[in-house]
Homo-oligomer: A and B are copies of this chain.
Amino acid sequence: MRFLHTADWHIGKRLNGFDLLADQMAMFKQIETVAKRDKVDAIVIAGDLFDRSVPSEAAVQELRKMLSQLNLADHFPLIAISGNHDSAPRLGMASEWYLANGFHLVTEFKDAFQPVTVGDTQFFLLPFFGLQTARNYFQDEHLTDINQIMAKVVATMQGQFDADKHHVLVAHFFAAGSHRTADSETLAEVGGLSAVDTSILAPFDYVALGHLHNYRALLEDRIKYSGSPLKLSASEAETEKGVWIVDTEPFNVQWHPLHQSPEMVKKTGSFAELTAPQAVEQIDPADYYLLTLTDQGDIPDVMAKLREYYPKILSLSWTRESHRPVTQKLKKLNQLDPMTLLGDFYQQTTGHKLTAQQQTWAQTALNKVEEED
């Protein structure tokens, strides 16, 4: 069979106050076009369908249109899970009714172990979950590490494997492997806390992940993030967006880039250069701009002045000396994991290292934040 793997739609997200719903609908239409053109047998959405636990009514209406179009109009089977941004009960309210139309949505951990068979493949749908949920399910309070838990999860799923089928895991969590990307931005996200070791996921023919927005966050052959199909923050300005098309027999995985419209455009220059007629004429007012000014002196009210030319500015930075060290420092900080960052900060501020007790507290708090984020 052939399926499309996407994730992290974050419907309803606002970007620096800009409403993205129209951009998200345009993105959706591209995904639909790819699915039809490549005649996929199913569409996998690996979590974070909504951006918030309580999406706006407008966001609810947009996602309804998208899912209804794919499932009820185009008749694609849908295979989806809730991510950490979704409210599992709210997203999953109607999941029992979706089944009649081949729309398989799992939002509860306990439902992850009953595979959904489509064509030649068993799909295991593991929604985002908190550690306590897993402890309760396995009735084991000693489970403290995500890798312990995932080993149990995978073993339980293997008990349901039909040897004549292929096996795909759909999940929404941090994963890290030996082929870890060198992308500095994602290191800080993946690096430290509670990352699932990809070696645990080896029993699956393919793992369709959601959570990280960069499709190159993992470079394994058969364990992939799809990334978000739309650029959702300034830090994703230079990340290519797209979807994976996966064939199970023979196994093949193919990246299909999606055109970003509006685009996120980076521009560097002096105020005079950025507002010169030849620069202004290239501005698409629909695009989002990340501007860097090379001027040495201050420019009063510069943001308002730039907005006269660039209506959608996401960020404004400066190359001038007084700002450079901070920028460089931030780049370096990006490569550190959260516990190291916290420890360094504490030492710089107090002159003391974190005690073992403080480290435990911090780790517990960071784990909790990660579960909730």
Contacts and interface: CB of A to CB of B under 8 A. Distances in A.
Contact of A72 (B57, B61, B71, B97): B97
- A61, A64, A97 — most chain B CB neighbours (10 Å): A97
B98 A101 contact: no
Interface residues of A, number: 23
A148 to B, nearest CB: 28
A101 B96 CA distance: 10
Given A64-B94, A93-B94, 4 more contacts: A57-B89, A58-B89, A64-B92, A97-B100
Interface in A51-70: 54, 57-58, 60-61, 63-64, 68
A87 interface: yes
A331 interface: no
Interface of A: 54, 57-58, 60-61, 63-64, 68, 71-72, 87-90, 92-94, 96-98, 100-101, 103
A58 B96 CA distance: 17
A103 B88 CA distance: 22
Contact of A93 (B64, B71, B87, B100): B64
B89 A98 contact: no
A253 to B, nearest CB: 30
Contact of A97 (B58, B92, B98): B98
A128 to B, nearest CB: 15
